[in-house]
Amino acid sequence: MTSTIITVAPTGAESSKAAVPQLPVTLDELVQTAKDCEALGASIIHVHIRDEDARPSLDLGRLTETVDALREQTSLVVQLSSGGAVTDPEEHRLRVLDASPDMASCTMGTVNFGADVFMNRWEFIVALHQRMQDREIVPEYEIFDLGHLASLAKLLDKYGLPYGGHVHCDLVMGVPGGMPGTIGALVAAVAALPTGATFSATGVGRSTIPVMLAALSAGGHLRVGMEDTLTYAPGRPVEGNAQLVARAAGLARLAQRPPMPVAEVRALLGVRDRGAVAVGG
């Protein structure tokens, strides 16, 4: 058993700052969150940004500023979301890669997303995968449903391994319209992973804890954060992302799979050294 990669997904695109005041939406809030979570054991940050009115944004200038700030002030692996919000057009989602993150998400298929549809056409997936190969950006393949793993097998077969040569997936479980956040679904997904792939898992809402425990038992890694979880326990809103990272790190230690140091994560996933100089890291 190896140690545990802990990814923090602090913001997402779905919750409003008005409804969730603890959500980090400004650059300062995001950087402070990143520092706090790194100190507690996070090694990757999955980033969605907001505009000046706290609405989801894929503005390239803001994304670039965010990547630079996170590189300067933390040693976390910076993973930008190419998923954005369900309303974002494909060309804006592809343009995210121009901000030169270490990693970017690459969702492996279309999925109902509550009352919305999160659209991921095959041609778009191929374009993302190939552009990440060209730009030396490591993808994290987002798996919302079992069929997405069949698409991943086809993608790798036809278009080759991602940059870095290693396949890393994130099972996003419990989205209304996607696979449920159950142990059975997790076991089925793990059985369908490409040979040699690693995976993390996150369960949204009430599936957070069962999915976290199942992922640890199955040798997987963890993603936690306010993108996926807003309630810490029944009747107790999450106080902040650090609280969720602290819980994940504690459970990982209990499972004798402590948080993986960032340098080991970079080596495992094949993340390119972009010359970041981390403060205190």
Contact 199, 178 (CB under 8 A): no
Q: Please say which residue, 7 or 100, places its beta carbon nearer to ligand KMH.
A: 7
Contact partner at residue 142 from ligand KMH, Zn ion, none, CB < 5 to 8 Å by partner kind: ligand KMH
CA quadruple 69, 273, 85, 185: dihedral positive or negative?
Answer: negative
Quick one: which of 51, 52, 54 has its CA closest to 19? 54
What residue number has its CB nearest to ligand KMH? Answer: 83
The Cα-based distances of 212 to 11, 109, 190, 244 in angstroms read 19, 23, 14, 11
Binding of Zn ion at residue 7 (CB under 5 A)?
no
Q: Please say which residue, 3 or 118, places its beta carbon nearer to ligand KMH.
A: 118
Phi, psi of 107 (to 5 degrees): -80, 135
Residues 69-98 that bind Zn ion (CB under 5 A): 81
Contacts with ligand KMH, residue ranges (CB under 6 A): 12-13, 81-83, 85-86, 105, 107, 113, 118, 142
Q: Please say which residue, 177 or 219, places its beta carbon nearer to ligand KMH.
A: 177
DSSP 96-117: GGGG--SEEEEE-S-EEETTEE
For residue 279, the minimal CB distance to ligand KMH (Å) is 26
Phi, psi of 248 (to 5 degrees): -65, -45
For residue 88, the minimal CB distance to ligand KMH (Å) is 8
Radius of gyration from C-alpha coordinates of the chain = 17
For residue 111, the minimal CB distance to Zn ion (Å) is 13
Contact 47, 81 (CB under 8 A): yes
**Number of residues that make up the chain:** 281
Contact partner at residue 85 from Zn ion, ligand KMH, none, CB < 5 to 8 Å by partner kind: ligand KMH
Using CB under 5 A as the binding criterion, the count of chain residues that bind Zn ion stands at 1
Binding of Zn ion at residue 243 (CB under 5 A)?
no
For residue 227, the minimal CB distance to Zn ion (Å) is 5
Q: Please say which residue, 86 or 209, places its beta carbon nearer to ligand KMH.
A: 86
